[in-house]
């Protein structure tokens, strides 16, 4: 299957007219994990599966997902996972020791180069560059390991050169970050060393997701043959004096957006390319997407349910390859050779700009009438806490889950039957109600304090809301990878956003009617809906986010009116959306925090607002997290063994906090002792009176057996801490 996918994509690129076709860009899990595995950066505890028991892949997947095997005495947590820069793609964080040994443990880049060549396709192998690999790893002093790592890259270069590779792409996305002087020195050392063994291989140094800015001089000075620039994220990324570039240096210009799904403005892209060619010559310019096409769906021509007008505005991966080919043809043979295709592009873009679908005067008026007071709660947290405790009394160390419960094969099959017309609406509703009641009864049996309804009616935490909001459209086949085998289908925001009618009130009310325990209303926040969608590129992101916030505000108000006293507005993407350069943070944090507050502040003091964040470093934005003014925030901390709590120690978090004690992204069930250790660490550094006990994230991807066992252990831990706290208070009294 993996081989078939690789071959299909190589052939697709070749048939589209692409001349520099990448290889080693396919992964069974993620490309950073592939690199760690390739260089032998495998923690000793994960080498269990080498040999007949599972081969090398056993260790590979244990690093990614953890492993439990009572018969073999295995109980291995997964490595940490975090977001790939500011995308919704996740990577496994390599774990490096101070004296890390590196070796060429796998030959995946060479193997896939040879695999493509057997098809008659000479590819450009793609490697994660050594400096970015180290900077993305978990290590006390990662760059100090560079001299030990470089021999592995040198060995691989020699093998690729012997096999006939003439170009190798080295991805160094860290070049778009704020870099310390030692990182600059590391780049100079790494590429000087690699240039000595590259032989016939020419190196293409690739950056993306932003501009090089102050790192441009460094990148241009390195002994490489080509430099890739992301001109969609940084339209001004070309140097002013193009003719002053080193004469040997080619430029790969990312003029086709690899992160979004809108058609390229071919006229503007051609103008940029021609300007560069006029300055440095035809043979030194490559036409390229801004980044890997991993981040967009495959083929918009396969979509059948998107309105034809909107569909004409879209370009998925296959269409982006065509755009690259069209631009190349126009450069090589003149615009007249593709005049019809360029005219079609102009008509589609003009149609989008003039379409009444995109604009809604009512949304414009409401935005103008928004006042600053709408982004403030009625009273400060200290007052709200008293009011909430009176209306919804909870024990010390209250327990809850983040939102979803297992979407079993039966749930998925029933949903598919409904969508395909094999099950009528009444039968589907009855099934969902039964699953919801089952989830509530399980939570009651486990003795959780605050319940959730399980979200069985939802396919995805963003898609579900987008499907009920104006200004959104959905693909059928627009899947993109999030992590491992987990894919998501981001909605497409094409126009002004508004909420025609309530989205969650019916299910929250039904769930609350089944239990006397408090039920959380579950919503996705405006920043996350924005960040996990394909967003319109003809309006500021801050404006689109504010429109979404007003829609969520209406839903929050309706939930409160329906008697729901705890409402969770999830913002797992708040940190993910942070610009990569610190100089750009303030503007983003100002509008993103305001959007959350606009969405969540229109409630009485008695209504408790929760939020959830996961897989992000909070240290740099802890003040912004506090500025959200949510009554309770739950965060992912279990894979990092509560290391993320350091941020909440240095900055005293003013409200309540639920650090996760259970990693739900692994099928492994943690022991009660393990959860207790994490909970006690949290209680030792945070105010125990403001501490919640919960998993890291929603439980949608897990099975019921895992969930029951893990949550039972979690509740036992909370009760033990609760009893100890009661004894302490009695003794003091």
Residues with pLDDT less than 70, the chain: 48-55, 70, 615-617, 638-645, 729-733
Answer whether residue 623 is part of any domain: no
Answer whether residue 711 is part of any domain: no
Q: What is the pLDDT of residue 641?
A: 59
What is the chain's Cα-based Rg?
A: 26
Contact, 287 vs 226, CB < 8 A? no
pTM: 0.90
Answer whether residue 484 is part of any domain: yes
DSSP H or E stretch at residue 156: helix 146-163
DSSP track, 577-637? TS-SSGGGHHHHHHHHHHHHHHHH-SS-TTSEEEEEE-SS--GGGHHHHHHT--SEEEE--
Answer whether residue 634 is part of any domain: no
**pLDDT tens digits, 430-460:** 999 999 999 999 999 999 999 999 999 998 8
Q: What is the pLDDT of residue 639?
A: 55
State percent of the chain over pLDDT 90.
76
Measured in degrees and rounded to the nearest 5, phi and psi for residue 421 equal: 80, 10
Answer whether residue 620 is part of any domain: no
How many CB atoms within 10 Å of residue 281?
A: 12
Q: How far is the C-alpha of 620 from the C-alpha of 632, rounded, in Å? A: 20
Task: Tell which residue, 260, 372, 406, 503, has the closest CA to residue 706.
Answer: 406
Answer whether residue 478 is part of any domain: yes
Answer whether residue 464 is part of any domain: yes
* CATH number for the domain that contains residue 462: 3.20.20.210
Answer whether residue 606 is part of any domain: yes
Contact, 261 vs 297, CB < 8 A? yes
Task: Tell which residue, 337, 259, 288, 713, has the closest CA to residue 531.
Answer: 259
Print the domain residue range for 544. Answer: 458-612
Q: What is the pLDDT of residue 53?
A: 40
In the predicted model, what is the mean pLDDT of the chain?
Answer: 92
The set of catalytic residues is 665
Burial grade of 259 (CB within 10 A; 0-12, 13-18, 19 or more) = buried
Q: Which residues contact 375 (CB under 8 A, 6 or more apart)?
A: 594, 597, 598, 601
Task: Tell which residue, 412, 519, 509, has the closest CA to residue 458.
Answer: 412
Q: How far is the C-alpha of 614 from the C-alpha of 186, rounded, in Å? A: 31
**pLDDT tens digits, 398-414:** 999 998 999 999 999 99
Counting the structural domains of the chain, the total is: 1
């Amino acid at each position: 299957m993996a081989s078939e996918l690789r071959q299909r994509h190589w052939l697709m690129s070749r048939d589209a007219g692409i001349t520099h076709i990448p290889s080693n860009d396919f992964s069974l899990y993620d490309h950073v994990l592939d690199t760690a595995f390739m260089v032998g950066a495998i923690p000793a505890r994960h080498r269990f599966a080498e040999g007949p028991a599972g081969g090398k892949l056993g260790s590979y997947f244990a690093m990614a997902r953890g492993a439990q095997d009572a018969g073999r005495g295995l109980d291995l947590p997964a490595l940490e996972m975090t977001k790939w820069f500011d995308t919704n793609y996740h990577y496994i964080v390599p774990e490096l020791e101070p004296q890390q040994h590196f070796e060429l443990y796998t030959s995946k880049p060479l193997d896939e180069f040879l695999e493509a060549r057997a098809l008659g396709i000479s590819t450009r192998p793609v490697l994660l560059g050594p400096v970015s690999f180290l900077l993305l790893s978990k290590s006390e002093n990662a760059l100090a390991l560079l001299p030990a790592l470089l021999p592995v890259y040198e060995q691989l270069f020699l093998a690729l050169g012997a096999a006939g590779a003439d170009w190798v792409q080295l991805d160094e996305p860290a070049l778009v970050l704020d870099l310390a002087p030692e990182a600059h020195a590391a780049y100079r050392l790494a590429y000087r060393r690699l240039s000595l063994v590259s032989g016939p291989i020419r190196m293409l140094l690739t950056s993306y997701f932003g501009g090089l800015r102050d790192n441009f001089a460094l990148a241009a000075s390195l002994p490489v043959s080509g430099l890739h620039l992301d001109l969609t994220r940084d339209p001004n990324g070309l140097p002013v004096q193009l003719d002053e570039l080193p004469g040997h240096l080619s430029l790969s210009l990312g003029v086709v957006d690899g992160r979004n799904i809108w058609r390229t403005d071919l006229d503007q892209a051609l103008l940029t390319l021609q300007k560069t060619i006029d300055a440095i010559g035809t043979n030194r310019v490559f036409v390229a997407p801004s980044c890997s096409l991993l981040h967009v769906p495959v083929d918009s021509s396969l979509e059948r349910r998107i309105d034809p007008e909107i569909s004409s505005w879209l370009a998925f991966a296959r269409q982006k390859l065509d755009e690259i080919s069209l631009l190349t043809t126009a450069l090589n043979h003149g615009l007249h050779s593709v005049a019809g295709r360029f005219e079609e592009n102009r008509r589609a873009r003009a149609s989008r700009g003039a379409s009444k679908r995109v604009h809604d005067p009512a949304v414009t008026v409401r935005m103008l009438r928004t006042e600053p007071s709408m982004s403030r709660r009625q009273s400060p947290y200290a007052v709200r806490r008293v009011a909430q405790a009176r209306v919804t009394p909870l024990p010390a160390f209250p327990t809850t889950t983040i939102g979803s419960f297992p979407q079993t094969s039966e749930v998925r099959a029933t949903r598919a039957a409904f969508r395909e017309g094999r099950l009528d609406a009444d039968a589907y509703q009855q099934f969902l109600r039964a699953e919801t009641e089952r989830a509530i009864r399980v939570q009651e049996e486990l003795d959780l304090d605050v319940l959730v309804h399980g979200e069985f009616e939802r396919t995805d935490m963003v898609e579900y809301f987008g499907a009920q909001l104006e200004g959104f459209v959905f693909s059928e086949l627009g899947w993109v990878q999030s992590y491992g085998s987990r894919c998501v289908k981001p909605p497409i925001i094409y126009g002004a956003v508004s909420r025609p009618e309530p989205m969650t009130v019916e299910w929250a009310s039904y769930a609350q009617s089944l239990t006397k325990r408090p039920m959380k209303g579950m919503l996705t926040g405006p920043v996350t809906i924005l960040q996990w969608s394909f967003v319109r590129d003809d309006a500021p992101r801050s404006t689109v986010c504010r429109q979404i916030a007003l829609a969520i505000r209406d839903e929050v108000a309706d939930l409160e009116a329906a008697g729901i006293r705890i409402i969770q507005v999830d913002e797992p993407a708040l940190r993910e959306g942070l610009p990569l350069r610190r100089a750009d943070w303030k503007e983003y944090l100002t509008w993103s925090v305001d959007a959350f507050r606009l969405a969540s502040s229109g409630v009485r003091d008695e209504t408790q607002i929760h939020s959830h964040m996961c897989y992000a470093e909070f240290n740099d934005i802890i003040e912004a997290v506090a500025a959200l003014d949510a009554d309770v925030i739950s965060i992912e901390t279990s894979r990092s063994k509560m290391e993320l709590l350091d941020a909440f120690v240095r900055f005293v978090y003013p409200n309540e906090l639920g650090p996760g004690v259970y990693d739900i992204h692994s099928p492994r069930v943690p022991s009660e002792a393990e959860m207790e250790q994490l909970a006690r660490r949290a209680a030792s550094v945070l105010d125990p009176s403001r501490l919640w006990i919960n998993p890291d994230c929603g439980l949608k991807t897990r099975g019921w057996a895992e969930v029951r066992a893990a949550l039972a252990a979690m509740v036992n831990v909370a009760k033990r801490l609760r009893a100890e706290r009661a004894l302490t208070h009695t003794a003091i009294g």
